[in-house]
Amino acid sequence: MLTEEIGFSFSVSENQEMVRTMVRDFAERHIRGHVMEWDEVQFFPVEVFKKLGELGLMGVLVPEIYGGSGFGYQEYVDVLVEISKVCGSVGLSVAAHNSLCTGHILAFGTEEQKHKWLSKLSTGEWIGAWGLTEANTGSDALRMMTTATLDGDHYILNGAKNWITHGKSGDVAVVMVRTGEKGRANGISAIVVERGTPGFSAGKKENKLGMRASETTEMIFDHCRVPVANLLGKEGEGFKQAMKVLDGGRISIAALSLGIAKGAYEAALAYAQERHQFGQPISSFQAISFKLADMATEIEAAELLIRQAADLKNRGKNMTKESAMAKYFASEVAVRVATDAVQIFGGYGYTKDFPVEKFYRDSKLCTIGEGTSEIQKIVIAREILNG
């Protein structure tokens, strides 16, 4: 059921068209030719993100006063889709930087904190990380083990975070830590930790199935002293903040999923029209054309859900249900479309000489990261049953 109040226009704004053209051109010039090279060796292309920062794409949602572009969520969706159509890894890193680390500071930082950190994050001078997940507390975040103990005008952090995008290369991280009783929402706080702080280090780098050019590592805190001034909001508000940040983050992963799905679909569509079997293009066979029809329809449906959630977010409306629906549906669509794209390519789709095998590998993360599909169903069910 569509939201009762829809403000989204189906027409593409001038800003959106400009952003799409700019990002499409950037991806062609700076990303496409290196996609498989970076993927093979799990190379995190820091310089690409510096260049994106020069275009304002590392602070898409950040007001100009803090060095950002000041765009809204529709433009942000366009940025992620156009990048992810070429490389899901770069799309994932742009999403994590913008929505999580930068977005958290923007939403809950003081003016002093925003001017201090957003000016560097928005321009790409600094790359941001965001730490919630731990080895034994993925979806069950309230039982995290990483602690922050007050010691005068500092917090002492001890523990480790896992599966952190930019956990090694990030210059600054927003970290959720336990400052109160385990298992209680008001026992979690959000603290900003800068790289170079004694006791803050990177641990194991994950060897992943997909998204291999997006760095994923542990962050380790060993008696790490962080000024109390780095606390975001008040002590005990971190979990509530994180859940609000993830509402917007779900739009990011949905847009990432949409980009991957579009990239896989466009590759499959072109191949089906070029590849001939039995004297005709394989697109003329119903088995193939019906796959393409299903792919195109699901992509359209996913985009409508994403645009609806983005519209609600832009207008400051509650969009917990809509963002969860968009993330859940779009991520599952990405997997289905990428799977069908490999099938259309046949044996060639199973090789690294064609792009669809990478879309296939990258797509799966979208159903896991920033809340699994199962967690999205829990959120959706709670919203419709309690709403």
- Which residues are annotated as catalytic? 370
Q: Closest by alpha carbon to 299, among 269, 343, 271?
A: 269
User: From residue 276, how far is each of 273, 280, 294, 339, 355 by CA, in Å?
Assistant: 8, 5, 21, 21, 19
161-186 residues labelled b (16+ CB within 10 A) or e (exposed)? bbbbbbbbbbbbbbbbbbbbeeeeee
For the chain, the straight-line distance linking the first and the last C-alpha, in angstroms and rounded, comes to: 13
Q: Which one-letter amino acid corresponds to residue 100? A: L
Is the separation of the CB atoms in 211 and 74 below 8 Å?
no
Cβ partners under 8 Å of residue 304, min gap 6: none
Centre a 10 Å sphere on the Cβ of residue 336 and count the other Cβ atoms it contains.
16
CA-based nearest residue to 155, from 94, 264, 258, 228: 228
317's CB contacts (< 8 A; 6+ apart) are: 5
How far apart CA 82 and CA 359 sit, in angstroms, is 14
CA distances from residue 228 to 126, 145, 150 in whole angstroms, order as listed: 22, 20, 8
Strand 128-131 with 172-178, pairing: parallel
**CA 70/CA 53 separation, integer angstroms:** 13
